[in-house]
Amino acid sequence: MTTSPLLANLIEALRCLPGVGGKSAQRMAFHLLERDRDRGLKLADALREAMQRIGQCQRCRNFSEEALCAICGGASRDRQLLCVVESPVDLAAIEQATGYRGQYFVLHGRLSPLDGLGPEELGLPLLVQRLGEGEVEELIIATNPTVEGEATAHYLAQLARAGGIRPTRLAHGVPLGGELEFVDRGTLAHAFGGRQLL
């Protein structure tokens, strides 16, 4: 298909990116070679640095190249609020969308015994230790509203209650801007049952 082994190798390697198939990979490789070699080299450096140096924050398990991430290491965030998320992407989404000023804890998964994901793998001993320090007053459980996410939320709520901490969960309901007609039954029933006084 291509006459250069290095180019074939690059096209194949680009396919590790999510959403990138053979055609897109080829387009990307040709684009970089023809027009943007400098930025291609910068991308190579950024990839290497990130893959090798980014680990987990010792306190919240979020991605960080330092022992403590900027949120845990800084003094500006409220230590009485702790928000538990399944993954760093969820953390980023909450940071971008809300004005939340508390701290986080990243599970890197959800309880799923069949996949070998138990409390140990999710770092729950670290979470329990953190809850035992006495600073946290509210545990905001922001796992995904899937079956496994809900199961994980129940488990976390028990942990919180055992430590005398108030567990809360993100509100479920009709999405803003959505039309009732197109909301799925489960969500609609939940939103109806959980109606609030105006």
* Binding region for a copy of itself (CB under 8 A): 1-7, 9-10, 12-14, 16-19, 24, 26-34, 36-37, 39-54, 62-65, 69-71, 87-89, 92, 95-96, 108
Closer of 48 and 166 to a copy of itself (Cβ): 48
Tell me the closest approach of the beta carbon of residue 170 to a copy of itself, in angstroms. 20
- Cβ proximity to a copy of itself, 25 vs 165, nearer residue: 25
Q: Give, in order, the Cα–Cα distances in Å from 70 to each of 59, 63, 77.
A: 11, 10, 10
Question: Residue 178 CB, nearest distance to a copy of itself (Å)?
Answer: 20
Q: What are phi and psi of 83, to 5 degrees?
A: -110, 125
Judged by DSSP in three states, 117 sits in strand
Task: Give CA–CA dist 10/161, Å, rounded.
Answer: 52
- Residues 127, 159 contacting (CB under 8 angstroms): yes
Closest CB 191 distance from a copy of itself, rounded Å: 27
Distance CA 172, CA 14 (A): 38
Nearer to a copy of itself, 52 or 196 (CB): 52
Closest to a copy of itself by CB, 61 or 130: 61
3 state DSSP class of 120: coil
The least distance separating a copy of itself from the CB of residue 137, rounded to whole angstroms, comes to 23
